[in-house]
Amino acid sequence: MDCRIVTIPGDGIGPEIVREACKVLDKVARVYGHSFHYKEVLMGGCSIDAYGVPLTEEALETARQSDAVLLGAVGGNVGNSRWYDVAPNLRPEAGLLAIRKGLNLFANIRPAYLYRELAEACPLKKEIIGEGFDMVIMRELTGGLYFGERHTEEVGGVLQATDTLTYNETEIRRIAVKAFDIARKRRKSVISVDKANVLDSSRLWRKVVEEVAKDYPEVKLEHMLVDNCAMQLVMNPGQFDVVLTENMFGDILSDEASMITGSIGMLSSASLNESKFGMYEPSHGSAPDIAGKDLANPIATILSAAMMLRYSFDLDKEADAIEAAVQKVLTEGYRTTDIMSEGCTKVGTAQMGDLIAERI
Ligand code: NAD
């Protein structure tokens, strides 16, 4: 298979972790007979330094012309006046919002998986962890409360602020389809999270999700109220396979789900549009405190590359091989500093990439 991948290393540890992900992809290409063609573009602080803006129209267009985008992270220390003493739309992170919008990435997928080897980092009790957990949160990313009409006004001498939460059935249907498609590749269960006992938007959400479910008879659908879901995530995380939810609920629940894995350097993510196209990136930021020191954990980015193979290129076997290689390296006791524990072997960013690539 021939794939055109745009890489956006970005700032801080971004270039180091994207380099390792490409190392692993190159090994996959050699072993399984694919060709991955990379084109690198700038985004974030490095783009501000080069062009004065966090994302140029050319960079966006290059991304648009590719099959998938692999992103490191953008941003720096807020003390960096060159990047932060400017209007918010010119700061490094504005590039991120612009590319998500420009590529119409409406579906955000964040897996939360607990590696047995890292169970000590999980803040939950052993009896709650049980056999571990392996879920993905599917969050709608371009609608709902964060994109609705808002204003602040004075009413009768008192300040009053209003935000509006709007969803139409098209927006709900397309994210539900993505969730069911992914569930079909996993354990075939979707839990759709809403607040249908209160909100009209949630009642429409539930109705449309039920309609979509009819096209996936092999996938089991359940509904859960968001307040209950927040409790269930810390009481019985093993019950979740695919969690489907709207923008704000997903924002909160995906952070809760990542917290219970305990290791920020391990968490991958994907943002997809209507076609197979997606942008793949670790859930963490650019970690300027450890940039350039060979201390960054590249696993989140490597697992994001595995998601790219699975969701954009339908290369499931190859994605499985990357995930199995990560698992093997952890079982053999290799750890970067952030996940180090007693009795394990500490390795740097580049060596972790080598170890994973060697096991493919
Ligand atoms: P961060 O995720 O960059 O770092 C938080 C802590 O986790 C730091 O101590 C860091 O050293 C550590 N850490 C993060 N990733 C790691 C990894 N792969 N291996 C080892 N340790 C890791 O969050 P922050 O410090 O709040 O933000 C730093 C910068 O990143 C800011 O400019 C912020 O705006 C930006 N940011 C970017 C993105 C993105 O590009 N998607 C996301 C979040 C934050």
Phi, psi of 200 (to 5 degrees): -60, -40
Q: Determine whether 227 is an active site residue.
A: yes
User: Nearest CA to 303 among 342, 246, 264, 249?
Assistant: 264
Tell me 340's DSSP state: -
CA 262 – ligand 1 centroid, Å: 14
Q: Which atom of ligand 1 is nearest to the CA of 17?
A: 18
Instruction: Give 3-state DSSP helix, strand, coil % of the chain, rounded to 5.
Output: 45, 20, 30
Q: How far is the CA of 286 from the centre of ligand 1 (A)?
A: 4
Q: What is the pLDDT along the chain (360 residues), one digit of tens a residue?
A: 999 999 999 999 999 999 999 999 999 999 999 999 999 999 999 999 999 999 999 999 999 999 999 999 999 987 777 898 888 888 999 999 899 889 999 999 999 999 988 888 889 999 999 989 999 999 999 899 988 898 999 999 999 999 999 999 999 999 999 999 999 989 999 999 999 999 999 999 999 999 999 999 999 999 999 999 999 999 999 999 999 999 999 999 998 998 898 888 899 999 999 888 999 999 999 999 999 999 999 999 999 999 999 999 999 999 999 999 999 999 999 999 999 989 999 999 999 999 999 999
How many residues in total does the chain contain?
360
265 lines ligand 1 (CB under 6 A): yes
Atom of ligand 1 nearest to the CA of 44: 40
Q: Does any ligand 1 atom lie closer than 6 A to the CB of residue 302?
A: no
CB of residue 111 inside a 6 A radius of ligand 1: no
Entry pTM: 0.90
- Regarding the beta carbon of 299 and ligand 1, being less than 6 Å apart is answered no
How many angstroms separate the CA atoms of 267 and 304, rounded?
8
